A and B are shown apart, each in its own frame.
Chain A
Amino acid sequence: MTNHSHIEYWQRFIQGDQEAFRSLYDVYVNSLFSYAIRYCADEEIVKDSIHDLFVDLHRYRSRLNPNVNVKAYLFGSLRRKVAESKKKSINRSISAEDYHFRLGLATEDYITLPDDKENEVLTKLRVEMEKLPHRQKEALYLRFTCDMSYEQVAQIMDISIASCRTFIYRAIKDLRLRMENSKISQLLFIAFLPTRDISK
Chain B
Amino acid sequence: MERKVEDILSGESPREDLDKEVANDTRKWGEHILKILKLAKPHKLSSDAYTALWTRIEETTKKASQRDRQIRIFKYSAVACALIALSFLFWNIQDRNAPYDSLLYSAMNNQNLITEEEEVSIRRGDGRQTLISDGEVIDLSLNGRNENWQKKASTFNTLTVPYGKRIEVILPDNSKVWLNAGSQLTFPTVFDADERQVYLEGEGYFDVEGDPKRPFYVHTANMVVKVLGTTFNISSYKDDAFASTVLLSGEIELQGTGETSFEPQILKPGTAAILRKDSKSLSISTEAVEDHISWRQKQLILKNTPLAEIIARLERVYNTDITVESASGANETFSGRLDLTQPLTNLLTTLYNPLEYQLQKEERRIIINKR
Contact = CB atoms under 8 A, between A and B. Distances in A.
B37 A141 contact: yes
Interface string A114-153: 0000100110011001000000000011001100001000
A51 B50 CA distance: 11
B61 A165 contact: no
Nearest to A168: B10
Contacts of A173: 4, 6
Interface stretch (A54-62, A66-74, A80-88): A54-62
Interface stretch (A3-11, A29-37, A190-198): A29-37
B57 A122 contact: no
Interface residues of B, number: 34
B193 interface: no
Contacts of B57: 25, 51, 54-55, 58
Interface in B5-49: 5-7, 9-10, 12, 14, 29, 32-45, 49
Interface in B294-346: none
Nearest to A38: B43
B61 A58 contact: yes
A104 B40 contact: yes
Contacts of A122: 32, 35-36
Among A25, A103, A110, A144, the most chain B Cβ lie within 10 Å of the Cβ of A144
B10 A169 contact: yes
A121 B29 CA distance: 10
Interface residues of A, number: 44
Interface string A30-52: 11011001100000000100110
A47 to B, nearest CB: 6
B371 interface: no
A126 B36 contact: yes
A19 B42 CA distance: 26
A109 B6 contact: no
B29 A29 contact: no
A111 interface: yes
B69 to A, nearest CB: 12
Contact of A33 (B10, B34, B43): B43
A29 B53 contact: yes
B232 to A, nearest CB: 62
Contacts of B4: 173, 176
Nearest to B52: A47
B32 A34 contact: no
A106 interface: yes
A140 B35 CA distance: 12
A175 interface: yes
16 contacts: A22-B54, A29-B53, A29-B54, A47-B49, A50-B53, A51-B60, A54-B61, A105-B40, A110-B36, A118-B32, A144-B37, A145-B40, A165-B10, A169-B6, A169-B10, A172-B33
3 nearest CB pairs, A to B: A172-B6, A109-B41, A144-B37
